Amino acid sequence: MSQAAFTLPDLRGRTVAVTGASGMIGVYICRSLLQAGARVVGVVRNPQKAAFLAAEGVEFRRADLTDPASLQRAFDGCDAVVSNAAMYVVVKAMSAWAEHEKANVTGTTNVIEAAQRAGVKRVVHISTFGIYHWSIWRTLTEDSPQLDGRRRQGGPYRATKQLSEVLAWERARALGVDLTTLRPAGVFGARDHNLLKPVQRLLRLPLLVLPSIRFPFVYAGDVADAVVGALRNDASIGQAYNVCGTSHQFGHFLKRVSGLCGPRSLVLALPLPTGITVSNARAERDLGFRSRPLDEALGAIAQDKARTS
């Protein structure tokens, strides 16, 4: 197998399938791929959730992560697959384990295997920096210690995502698939139900008083651009990358985001001299990753909301 044959330095005329294309990150990935000239296939259960993408040039194909045959049909004729679909509910209750495992572990395995059966040799898998043991004492890199998903450390989401990335690497090596994994931090963007929606609920309170540590947040558009960067650079094959954006004081992040969420609470942050920091240096070098300033990202979100509302 020639590595060059499956490197996509020029995405024009190439076909890239995106699982979970109707989700928040998936929409951004589709748009970044379209901007790069790719033909984009959105692999979803319900195309109506992001019907506006069809008008922008995305072809939808129905499939389910638990149905390998449907995935194989969806990937037919594609040059690459972005394995983006996942269940993301940040809860500790172990009753949620089975659903997370089905989507994140079994689903990822099905995607890698279906891609190989469809003749697709290039896959980019969206993982998370939640697979690491978080620490306030050291900067996290791609080689930092990880949770043990088998012991369900970190709760259903983080544990199953750790297992899913391990399985992605195992299946890719066994099947001869050229894999790259990306590990974003707290992702925010338009149509965001995982981060901005809870923030919006908090901001309904007249006053918020909270201790504020540094935590990494990344704009979904920057993660999407990193997907394009990975597909354009064969040096990314076999590599994992942190695409975690910038660490912000959580209170400052809330204050800036409040402008998108209607009436503003009075946020009284008590900054603490500690927090989580992540190195994005490898992604900056190989993928051209750029974490745009917070106000620039929030401005882009506001424009997106105005365009699709």
pLDDT attached to residue 188: 92
Which residues have a Cβ under 8 Å from the Cβ of 286 and sit 6 or more positions away? Answer: 229, 230, 233, 235, 236, 239, 241
- Can you tell me the distance from the alpha carbon of 298 to that of 39, in angstroms, rounded to the nearest whole number? 28
More confident residue, 94 or 242: 242
User: Is 197 in the active site?
Assistant: no
**Residues of the chain above pLDDT 90, percent:** 71
- Can you tell me the distance from the alpha carbon of 309 to that of 300, in angstroms, rounded to the nearest whole number? 14
Q: Residue ranges of the domains in the chain?
A: 3-192+218-245+277-294
pLDDT tens-digit readout, 183-236? 999 999 988 776 666 666 666 666 666 667 899 999 999 999 999 999 999 999
Here the tokens at position 139 are 């900067």
- Can you tell me the distance from the alpha carbon of 261 to that of 253, in angstroms, rounded to the nearest whole number? 13
pLDDT tens-digit readout, 266-289? 666 777 778 999 999 999 999 999
pTM for the complete prediction?
0.90
Describe the crossing of helices 107-117 and 155-175 by its angle, rounded to 10 degrees: 20
- Average pLDDT of the chain is 88
pLDDT attached to residue 138: 94
pLDDT tens-digit readout, 112-163? 999 999 999 999 999 999 999 999 999 999 999 999 999 999 999 999 999 9
- Can you tell me the distance from the alpha carbon of 125 to that of 112, in angstroms, rounded to the nearest whole number? 9
- Taking 50 as the threshold, does the pLDDT of residue 3 lie above it? no
Give the start-end residues of each E strand in 118-199: 122-126, 178-184, 186-188
pLDDT attached to residue 292: 95
pLDDT attached to residue 7: 47
pLDDT attached to residue 206: 64
- Can you tell me the distance from the alpha carbon of 215 to that of 44, in angstroms, rounded to the nearest whole number? 31
Output the CATH code of domain 3-192+218-245+277-294.
3.40.50.720
pLDDT attached to residue 244: 97
Which residues have a Cβ under 8 Å from the Cβ of 179 and sit 6 or more positions away? Answer: 112, 123, 124, 125, 168, 169, 172, 237, 238
pLDDT attached to residue 2: 32
Nearest to 228 by CA among 54, 1, 8, 3: 8
- Of these residues, 121, 161, 197, 305, which one is catalytic? 161
- Taking 80 as the threshold, does the pLDDT of residue 32 lie above it? yes
The answer to whether 227 and 182 are in contact (CB under 8 A) is yes
**Residues of the chain above pLDDT 70, percent:** 84
- Taking 60 as the threshold, does the pLDDT of residue 5 lie above it? no
More confident residue, 211 or 244: 244
Nearest to 6 by CA among 107, 115, 113, 109: 115
- Taking 60 as the threshold, does the pLDDT of residue 166 lie above it? yes
Amino acid, single-letter form, for residue 155: G
- Burial tier of 299 (Cβ tally within 10 Å: 0-12, 13-18, 19+): middle
The answer to whether 84 and 23 are in contact (CB under 8 A) is yes
Phi, psi of 278 (to 5 degrees): -135, 140
More confident residue, 180 or 8: 180
Nearest to 156 by CA among 215, 83, 103, 85: 103
Which residues have a Cβ under 8 Å from the Cβ of 308 and sit 6 or more positions away? Answer: 52, 190, 191
